[in-house]
DNA sequence: CGAGGGCTTGAGGTCTATCAAACAGAGTGG
DNA sequence: CCACTCTGTTTGATAGACCTCAAGCCCTCG
């Protein structure tokens, strides 16, 4: 039975507020979304590739991976979602996606009806913009992911991946840059980087030997953050954090929307 | 001097209409956008990574690549944009992106002021949704790109890349599935797939020997489309073409936006 | 016709995959 | 409390894909 789940959704609101401004009413509307909690064990599929869904998945606890599946069954993880992330906000407008979603470690996911999200989008244009902006941030991370997988060797790629996770873990309030818990197996890391699990293991050992990264019994330690960021060629700019709230005023726009320069007069 | 450029922009409108419905007024508003044409030679940078821009780039002619640059200068192309594509619609809301844009072959690009696009977005909520949906389609392609680069060998990756380009070329009205012109060098293909140019050359020769793909003097021939799609594990679903127009009604929503089930009553 | 960019080819080296087996740790049941 | 099982990690050896460097070739354009 769908019900309200304010405490968990406040994480989503926080994520949106990182990049967008929303009025009190709009914030309340988001916190008031109905949801339906679902538990998932590690490796369990939440959404199978190509399936049409009528709800979005919000990560309340644990971690969720978005993946692309090959014909042979191998998977390439294309994004990781931490608590506070809406994995497939995209599905609101495009309910049939090509990707799938799987749990990384035991996770709790809230299903949120598309109908309700659409309702929000239609009532509050500022929320529509905030959602769009969230999709943009997601795409920016994805874009970097391509570079990470395509042009870096295992050492640099792994370093970059851990840097990204560290930053987002800290943002989500789940640890510090240098110390956090990560419920992912080496095999799942290998699916994220597109290399074999065996090679992940050897690369982790190499990074460990250099005292750059320690990943043992689900706990991550980064003794020298700057050194690891250097190895991974990591620059957090691409995460689009807290920098564009003023660039495109979404708050207050629902009041009047004064046209500065009418496009009509410029035609022809 | 910015001026109207209707004939070129109609390509953009067509692309939007592939996935969204827009009223006559909204369509006119898009066609009436002011723009400023810019010529670019092959390899020339249109937007450097990390730079803040105040205009979006629309491809009027040629091809544009989005790329992620590594510290050493190597590039990973993360997306290709054909005529009719707005390369960085994202920049309207997030003007400082982490990626760059470069010309693939001689190209003509229209610069469109963010101010005007924002204006459209604020006046016409349906356009905002159409833009969001366009960003989603872009992200879906990007997601597939990760799998292509991460989990496929050179043969399959190259086959998939050519399949994708073929479909989009046909959509853009620039050729057929089996025959089109491609102004990209082997080196640029190598930057797209994250492998060396030499290896691209050898892989092209292998595909040529199998009579799967012929790429000579900028002309592409695909004698047996299905065979190539099989080699590349290509399934066009991910391109989100013409399938979701009815799923999320954006047309007509600006008229009334009747709330089906008020989220307010569901709270608590 | 010359110059230059792009393509092609060869040889050797590196990174990463694959396979197989041993090992470790957490949870289970007797 | 001790096997026992299961998943995940570690290790070794071998094979394959791909890279790098370097040189020669070809086409196109001025």
Give tens-digit pLDDT for A151-167. 999 999 999 999 999 99
pLDDT band at A7 (very low <50, low <70, confident <90, very high): confident
Nearest chain A residue to B66 by CA: give it.
A143
Please give the backbone phi and psi of residue B203, each rounded to the nearest 5 degrees, phi first: -70, -40
Tell me which of A255 and B208 has the higher pLDDT: B208
Of the candidates B102, B146, B101, the one whose C-alpha atom is nearest the C-alpha of residue B238 is B146
Cα dihedral A66, A160, B76, B94 sign:
positive
Q: What angle do CA A33, A34, A39 make, to 5 degrees?
A: 120
Token pair of A59 as six digits: 């990560």
Q: SS3 for B17?
A: helix
Residue A265 CB coordination number (10 Å): 10
Between chains, do B94 and A133 touch, taking CB under 8 Å as contact?
yes
A4 has a chain B CB within 8 A of its CB: yes
Sole residue written with tokens 């992106």: B97
Q: Highest mean pLDDT: which of A238-242, B7-11, B189-193, B262-266?
A: B189-193
User: Is residue B265 over pLDDT 70?
Assistant: no
Q: Are A31 and A10 in contact (CB under 8 A)?
A: yes
DSSP string of A82-103, one letter each residue? -TT-BTTGGGGT--B-S-EEEE
Residues 20-79 of chain B sitting with CB below 7 angstroms of strand D: none
The residues in B 64-123 lying below 8 A from A, measured between CB atoms, are 66, 68-71, 74-76, 78-79, 90, 92-99, 114-116, 118-123
pTM higher than the cut 0.85: yes
Alpha-carbon gap: A182 to the closest alpha carbon of chain B (Å): 22
- Residue B137's pLDDT band (boundaries 50, 70, 90)? very high
pLDDT, position A4: 67
The answer to whether B218 and A173 are in contact (CB under 8 A) is no
Q: How far is CA B231 from CA A8, A70, A109, B161, in A?
A: 44, 12, 36, 11
Please give the share of chain B, as a percent, with pLDDT higher than 90: 85
The mean per-residue pLDDT over the stretch A229-241 comes to: 95
Handedness of CA B63, B68, B71, B75 (dihedral sign): negative
Q: What is the pLDDT of residue A243?
A: 53
Mutate one of A9, A67, A74, A98 to test the B interface: name it (highest B CB count within 10 A). A98
Q: Please tell me the distance from the alpha carbon of residue A89 to that of residue A173, in angstroms, as a whole number.
A: 22
Helix (H) or strand (E) holding B114: helix B114-123
For B162-186, the pLDDT digits (tens) are 999 999 999 999 999 999 999 999 9
What's the CA gap between A108 and B160, in Å, rounded?
A: 35
Residue A70 CB-density burial (10 A; 0-12 exposed, 13-18 middle, 19+ buried)? middle
Residue B7 confidence class, pLDDT cut points 50, 70, 90: confident
User: Percent of chain A beyond pLDDT 70?
Assistant: 88
Is residue A131 within 8 A of residue A138, CB to CB? The reply is: no
Residue A224, token pair as written in the block = 């020298």
B114-123 helix and B125-151 helix, angle to the nearest 10 degrees: 120
pLDDT in tens, A43-53: 999 999 999 99
Question: B-contacting residues of A 116-155, CB under 8 Å?
Answer: 116, 118-123, 125, 128-129, 131-133, 135-140, 142-147, 149-152
- pLDDT mean over B101-130: 96
- Average pLDDT of the residues in B211-235: 96
Return the minimum-mean-pLDDT range out of A3-7, A178-182, A213-217. Answer: A3-7
Tally: H helices and E strands in chain A: 8, 10
Residues of A in contact with B69 (CB under 8 A): 147
Furthest CA-CA distance within chain B:
66
- Give the helix ranges, DSSP H, for chain A: 6-19, 24-31, 114-123, 125-151, 154-171, 186-193, 197-209, 225-232
| Residue A4 structure tokens | 């309200």
- pLDDT, tens digit, 9 for 90 and up, residues B47-105: 999 999 999 999 999 999 999 999 999 999 999 999 999 999 999 999 998 999 999 99
Closest residue by Cα to residue A124 from A223, A212, A43, A21 = A21
B144 closest CB neighbour out of A68, A74, A263: A68
Distance B191 CA to D22 C1' (A): 21
Tokens of B107: 């190209």
Q: How far apart are CA B147 and CA B123, in angstroms?
A: 38
The Å distance, CA of A25 to C1' of D25, is 70
Of B142, B42, B8, B94, give the one whose Cα is nearest residue A250: B94
Confidence of residue B250 (pLDDT cuts 50, 70, 90): very low
Q: What is the 3-state secondary structure (H, E, C) of B73-123?
A: CCEEEEEEECCCCECCHHHHCCCECCCEEEEEEEEEEEEEEHHHHHHHHHH
Contact B139 A137 (CB under 8 A): no
Q: What band does A253 get if pLDDT is binned at 50, 70 and 90? A: very low
- Asked if A131 lies within 8 A of B135 by C-beta distance, the reply is no
Query: For A176-207, how does the pLDDT look when each residue is reduced to its tens digit (9 = 90+)?
Result: 999 999 999 999 999 999 999 999 999 999 99
- Whether the pLDDT of residue A121 is over 50: the answer is yes
Task: Find all residues with CB under 8 Å of B252, minimum gap 6, and list them.
Answer: none
Higher pLDDT, A3 or B163: B163
Cα–Cα dist B200/B211, whole Å: 16
Q: How many helices (H) and strands (E) does chain B have?
A: 9, 10
Q: Residue range B206-216: average pLDDT?
A: 96
pLDDT of residue A126 exceeding 80, the answer is yes
Q: Is the CB of B118 under 7 A from strand D?
A: no
Lookup: tokens for B5: 């450029």
Whether A158 CB is under 7 Å from strand C: no
Across the interface, do A151 and B71 touch by the CB < 8 Å criterion? no
The verdict on B58 touching A (C-beta cutoff 8 Å) is no
What is the rounded distance in angstroms from the CA atom of residue A162 to the CA atom of residue B75? 22
**pLDDT, position A66:** 98
- Does residue B242 register a pLDDT over 90? no
Task: Tell me whether strands B34-40 and B3-4 are parallel, antiparallel or unpaired.
Answer: antiparallel
C-beta atoms of A142 and B137 within 8 A:
no
Nucleotides of D under 7 A from a protein CB: 7-13, 17-22, 27-28
A164-to-A64, A225, A233, B124 alpha-carbon distances in Å: 15, 12, 11, 36
Provide the 3-class DSSP secondary structure of residue A213. Answer: coil
* Alpha-carbon span A227 to A231, nearest angstrom: 6
Nearest nucleotide relative to B188: CA against C1' = C6
Segment B15-38 shows an average pLDDT of: 95
Closest in B29, B147, B267 to A78, CB measured: B147
What does the block give as tokens for B262?
A: 């008020």
Residue A198 CA to nucleotide C19 C1', Å?
A: 11
């Amino acid at each position: 039975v769908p019900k309200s789940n304010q405490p968990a959704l406040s994480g989503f609101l926080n994520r949106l507020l990182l990049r967008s401004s929303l009025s009190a009413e709009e914030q309340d509307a988001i916190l008031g979304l109905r949801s339906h909690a679902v538990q998932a064990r590690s490796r369990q599929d939440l959404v199978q590739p190509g399936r049409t869904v009528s709800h979005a998945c919000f990560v309340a606890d644990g971690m969720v991976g978005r993946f692309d599946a090959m014909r042979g069954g191998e998977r390439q993880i294309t994004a990781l979602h931490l608590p506070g992330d809406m994995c497939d906000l995209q599905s609101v407008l495009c309910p049939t996606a090509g990707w799938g979603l799987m749990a990384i470690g035991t996770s709790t996911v809230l299903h949120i009806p598309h109908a309700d999200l659409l309702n929000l989008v239609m009532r509050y244009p500022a929320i529509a913009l905030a959602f769009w902006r969230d999709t943009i941030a997601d795409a920016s991370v994805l874009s970097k992911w391509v570079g990470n997988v395509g042009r870096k060797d295992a050492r640099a790629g792994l370093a970059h991946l851990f840097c990204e996770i560290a930053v987002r873990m800290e943002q989500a309030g789940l640890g510090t840059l240098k110390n956090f818990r990560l419920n992912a197996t080496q095999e799942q890391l290998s699916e994220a980087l597109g290399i074999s699990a065996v090679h992940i293991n050897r690369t982790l050992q190499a990074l460990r030997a250099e005292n750059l990264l320690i990943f043992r019994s689900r706990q991550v330690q980064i003794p020298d953050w700057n050194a690891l960021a250097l190895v991974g060629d990591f620059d957090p700019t691409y995460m689009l954090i807290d920098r564009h709230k003023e660039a495109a005023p979404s708050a207050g726009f629902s009041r009047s929307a004064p046209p500065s320069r009418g496009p009509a007069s410029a035609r022809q």
